[in-house]
Chain A
Amino acid sequence: MRRDRSGSKSGKPDAVRRHGRTLLAWSAIAFALPAHPAMAQAGNPAQLAGASLEELMNIEVTSVSKKEQTLSKTGAAVFVIGPEDIRRSGANNIPDLLRMAPGVEVAQIDANQWAISIRGFNDLYSNKVLVLIDGRTVYVNSFSGVFWDQIDVPLENIERIEVIRGPGGTIWGANAVNGVINIITKSAADTKGGLVTAGAGSRQTADGLVQYGADAGSTGAYRVFGRYFNTDNSVFPGGQRAADGSHGEQAGVRSDWAPSMRDTLSVQGDFLSTEGGGTTAAVFAGPPPFATPVNNELTNTSGDILARWEHTLANGSSTSLQVYDNAMKRNEAGFQMTNNAFDVEFEHHLAAGSRNDVVWGLDYRAEYDAGSTSTAYSLHVNPPRSTDSLFAVFVQDEIRLSNWVSLTLGSKFEHNAFTGFEYEPSVQLVWRMNDRQSLWLSAARAIRQPDLFDYGVQFNLSVEPVPGYGPALVTINGSPAVRAEQLNDYEAGYRAQISRRLSLDVTTFLSYYHHLETQVQGTPYVTVSSGSPLLVLPLTFASLAHARDYGAEAFANWQVTGRWRLSPGFSMLRMAIQPDPAGQAGFSPRQQVELRSLFSLPKNLEWDGSIKYIGGLASQDVSAYTRLDMRLGWRLGESLEVSVSGQNLATRRHLEFLDDSGLFIQTEVARTVFAKLTWRY
């Protein structure tokens, strides 16, 4: 697997690999895969050469991008969400889009908070999946999590989302433990012209985008956009309205240039400001009754700027240099957090001889953080201000052992401010059994580096009654003894292009985790800081748990007819964490099953839908539920599109996740409708 940040150029040209072997162990599938005479003929140059223009115009074609083909040959579990999937999903935000990726756990907590993970360990701000936008990390290292309400890219500008399940530490470094979500936006060359979208619905009450793109000289292009959205309050399980609605303004610019055949330059920047709310089970250090749910402000201002230069050298090797800065100021539950991340990366990709495809790179990152708390609230981080540096180097070599077997070896070596030196090696073996089937095996190590909160947080978690004493305050405290969480992961995958219309992808994994973060109970003490004596039960972070998880994911793409595509998906997960007093293994569904359907009706109508079963969460009061989403779209010529979509049509309201930290009190996810108009000019 190679990092691709620009989405512009794919790697080397496809090697012609053909051989007729099949494996007896796979006879069940192999037997059912006779040579397709029709396909072989259609792909035969002689046949195409003889075809008339009219015949050529009648051939139904597939348009899978080269990039997708390249990805489907890697020794890793990958799912790609393309622009057509996005446009026809009816989703208004990236979390809802990710629901279509098999093995990804997406659960909404309230109107603007989500718990999103891959292969378990799901939570509000779950910390084992790295998320990037155009090569820019939006996972906040110093906090170990992703603020999904800040991950807002106009969906029309997304080229694709690559969802990689399993570790990606060798390429992406720390925190790419259980997966990587790569959001790649379109080049400005592909978004020329005007674009206006306007939508309104029962939850997303307003959403509008205005964008304009044009040529910049004869070798470049640019686009600028502005967007506004407003999300309504959601509803508590009892039927009471929460105060968690939000609204936001967003603006962005991207410019791409190709000053020569060998150089491309990309500069982009974004700004987002949101203002919303959430209900917190606030714990005051003050007098009883201590815990009173409080409606809090949730505000965020964030911005980023990125520049990337890619250069192809005369010998065919290529280099890229990327610099970016991410800044945000977030006020959540009375805690104000400022984070600024500066990152510079260099990468060199070269072919060494005829068998080796080498990529190596250097990375430097500096992250500045400051946290402050308004007096009434209960979250502190020590030190309140810090700057942490990360240095990293990686090298990976893809060795072509034969025409049908390739071996990829590599490792990342990095030095972080918390645990010092870390390494993340991996090995992948890909065996192309024939031109339609491949089998791959991989083994990898990955880490989640500790953060400022693990080391120095002081957080009043809850007030618990102590029999014979009265209420006692439970606090969580950071500790510099916290170690990097470590994963040793083993995977096997199988891919088959069963016919031109049907493909299948199956992955199984076995994951061993060490030094998982736990909380140990300290000695209780009495504090009189708030006037009256209060018993405090301190919990301190430690790295004492380990886990063994296993599972499988499978999906297929079936182009039933030229107008109808069906995409079934399935995932299962079994987690065993030792010790697991909080029941974290039960924060993830044991299985998810889905079926998506994209149906193009006559008269430019589109009828799309998905049905997804999500298993219950064993240690939360969340039972299994089925989501039914549907969309009806109508394209009026080239420039106008009207759509109506409905989400959660199967149930009136359901719970998806409980936030056990008490930071946000969960609300129910309701049935919603949304109408949208898209105009391109």
Chain B
Amino acid sequence: MLSRFTPGIVAGLLLISTAGGQTIDQYEVKAGFVTSFANFVEWPPEAFKSPHDPFVICVLGRNPFGATLAGLVAGKVVGNRALMLRELMDVREAEGCHILFISASEHLRFRAILSSLREQSIFSIGDTNDFVSEGGVANLRIENGRVRIEINVVAAKEKNLRISSRLMGLARIVK
């Protein structure tokens, strides 16, 4: 019975599949957001020690991006600063990071992590429902199969981060 039907089913499914468009793994697109935020946020001067300091993107906890984020960062510059990626196992290593993606693997520790980042001008990004309400700066969440941005303007202001009006216009603002 199976042998009689399977080729037909497979062929049928294949025919239909080629007609549809393509969708992409969420973390490939989220990696695109993480790197492009560098162009839409202004850090205070003290976030860089010298004019040639690199621009540092960090990932705290289990890196969900696979090799995608490293691929996006490699060889790129922001202004005249080289873009760099660092993976952290502890929030105490976060000094020097400009953008910090906090993995969902650290969900239970968000409050502890975010409160220890309070004094630092770090643009923190998460992708769980309550990330901005816990004090994170930006959240990437999926709605109807597309990535949406949420920004906590209070947290951004506390950290002296100036967010461009273009990014603000696309984001849902949380106060």
User: Is B a genuine binding partner of A?
Assistant: yes
A58–B23 CA distance with the chains assembled, in angstroms? 11
Residues of A within 8 A of B89 (CB): 261
A187–B72 CA distance with the chains assembled, in angstroms? 32
Chain B proximity of A69: nearest CB distance (Å): 9
Number of residues from A at the complex interface, CB < 8 A: 68
Is A561 a contact of B20 with CB atoms below 8 Å? yes
Is B167 a contact of A53 with CB atoms below 8 Å? yes
Give the interface segment out of A34-42, A380-388, A646-654.
A34-42
Residues of B within 8 A of A552 (CB): 2
Residues of A within 8 A of B170 (CB): 53-54, 57
Residues of B within 8 A of A219 (CB): 108-109, 111-112
User: Which chain B residue lies CB-closest to A604?
Assistant: B144
Is B147 a contact of A59 with CB atoms below 8 Å? yes
Is B22 a contact of A39 with CB atoms below 8 Å? yes
Residues of A within 8 A of B129 (CB): 190
Chain B proximity of A615: nearest CB distance (Å): 11
A637–B163 CA distance with the chains assembled, in angstroms? 27
> Given contacts A192-B130, A499-B17, A552-B2, are A59 and B24 in contact (CB under 8 A)?
yes
Residue B25 lies at the interface, judged by CB distance under 8 Å to chain A: yes
B-contacting residues, A1-53, CB 8 Å = 8-10, 13-14, 16, 28-29, 32-33, 36, 38-39, 42-43, 45, 48-49, 51-53
> Given contacts A60-B23, A61-B24, A500-B23, are A8 and B105 in contact (CB under 8 A)?
yes
> Given contacts A53-B36, A61-B25, are A498 and B13 in contact (CB under 8 A)?
yes
Option from B17, B26, B64 in Cβ contact (under 8 Å) with A501: B17
Is A554 a contact of B6 with CB atoms below 8 Å? yes
Give the interface segment out of B27-35, B118-126, B154-162.
B27-35
Is A218 a contact of B111 with CB atoms below 8 Å? yes
Is A48 a contact of B29 with CB atoms below 8 Å? yes
Residue A258 lies at the interface, judged by CB distance under 8 Å to chain B: yes
Is A62 a contact of B107 with CB atoms below 8 Å? no
Is A261 a contact of B68 with CB atoms below 8 Å? no
Residues of A within 8 A of B106 (CB): 258, 261
Residue A404 lies at the interface, judged by CB distance under 8 Å to chain B: no
Chain A proximity of B131: nearest CB distance (Å): 11
Q: Is the interface of A mostly helix, strand, loop or mixed?
A: mixed
User: Which chain A residue lies CB-closest to B24?
Assistant: A42
Is A558 a contact of B68 with CB atoms below 8 Å? no
A218–B2 CA distance with the chains assembled, in angstroms? 55
Residue A506 lies at the interface, judged by CB distance under 8 Å to chain B: yes
Chain B proximity of A573: nearest CB distance (Å): 11
Is B32 a contact of A48 with CB atoms below 8 Å? yes
Residue B175 lies at the interface, judged by CB distance under 8 Å to chain A: no
A559–B9 CA distance with the chains assembled, in angstroms? 16
Residue A327 lies at the interface, judged by CB distance under 8 Å to chain B: no
Option from B68, B71, B107, B115 in Cβ contact (under 8 Å) with A218: B115
Chain A proximity of B10: nearest CB distance (Å): 6
Is A63 a contact of B26 with CB atoms below 8 Å? yes
Option from B21, B33, B105 in Cβ contact (under 8 Å) with A60: B21
A221–B108 CA distance with the chains assembled, in angstroms? 7
Residue A66 lies at the interface, judged by CB distance under 8 Å to chain B: yes
Residue A233 lies at the interface, judged by CB distance under 8 Å to chain B: no
Residue A405 lies at the interface, judged by CB distance under 8 Å to chain B: no
Is B109 a contact of A218 with CB atoms below 8 Å? yes
How many residue pairs between the two chains, A and B, have CB atoms under 8 Å in the bound complex?
175
A217–B110 CA distance with the chains assembled, in angstroms? 11
Q: Is the interface of B mostly helix, strand, loop or mixed?
A: helix
A640–B21 CA distance with the chains assembled, in angstroms? 32
> Given contacts A39-B22, A57-B147, A60-B24, are A558 and B111 in contact (CB under 8 A)?
no
Residues of B within 8 A of A56 (CB): 29, 32-33, 36, 147
A215–B29 CA distance with the chains assembled, in angstroms? 30
A504–B14 CA distance with the chains assembled, in angstroms? 10
User: Which chain A residue lies CB-closest to B60?
Assistant: A261
Residue A256 lies at the interface, judged by CB distance under 8 Å to chain B: yes
User: Interface digits, A61-84 against B, CB 8 Å rule (1 contact, 0 not)?
Assistant: 111101000000000000000000
Is B35 a contact of A499 with CB atoms below 8 Å? no
User: Interface digits, A208-230 against B, CB 8 Å rule (1 contact, 0 not)?
Assistant: 00000001011111000000000
Chain A proximity of B165: nearest CB distance (Å): 12
Is A560 a contact of B111 with CB atoms below 8 Å? no
Chain B proximity of A213: nearest CB distance (Å): 10
Is A189 a contact of B146 with CB atoms below 8 Å? no
Is A61 a contact of B29 with CB atoms below 8 Å? yes
Residue A257 lies at the interface, judged by CB distance under 8 Å to chain B: yes
Is A13 a contact of B146 with CB atoms below 8 Å? no
Residues of B within 8 A of A558 (CB): 13, 16-17
A62–B167 CA distance with the chains assembled, in angstroms? 23
User: Interface digits, A584-595 against B, CB 8 Å rule (1 contact, 0 not)?
Assistant: 000000010000
Is B22 a contact of A38 with CB atoms below 8 Å? yes
Chain A proximity of B137: nearest CB distance (Å): 16
Is B22 a contact of A501 with CB atoms below 8 Å? yes
Residues of A within 8 A of B79 (CB): none
Is A62 a contact of B20 with CB atoms below 8 Å? no
Residue B166 lies at the interface, judged by CB distance under 8 Å to chain A: yes
A261–B88 CA distance with the chains assembled, in angstroms? 11
A192–B28 CA distance with the chains assembled, in angstroms? 28
A-contacting residues, B21-75, CB 8 Å = 21-26, 28-29, 31-33, 35-36, 40, 61-64, 66-68, 71-72
Question: B residues touching A (Cβ–Cβ < 8 Å)?
Answer: 1-2, 6-7, 9-11, 13-14, 16-18, 20-26, 28-29, 31-33, 35-36, 40, 61-64, 66-68, 71-72, 76, 89-90, 105-112, 115, 128-130, 142, 144-149, 166-167, 170
Residue pairs across A and B with Cβ atoms less than 8 A apart, 24 shown, are: A32-B14, A38-B22, A43-B24, A45-B31, A48-B31, A48-B32, A48-B68, A48-B72, A53-B36, A56-B29, A60-B146, A187-B108, A189-B107, A190-B107, A217-B111, A261-B61, A261-B109, A499-B20, A500-B24, A501-B20, A501-B23, A502-B14, A560-B20, A562-B144
Question: A residues touching B (Cβ–Cβ < 8 Å)?
Answer: 8-10, 13-14, 16, 28-29, 32-33, 36, 38-39, 42-43, 45, 48-49, 51-54, 56-64, 66, 187, 189-190, 192, 215, 217-221, 256-258, 261, 264, 498-502, 504, 506, 552, 554, 556, 558-563, 568, 570, 572, 591, 600
Q: Given contacts A42-B24, A54-B170, list 6 more A-B pairs with CB under 8 A.
A: A38-B22, A48-B72, A53-B167, A59-B23, A261-B90, A554-B6
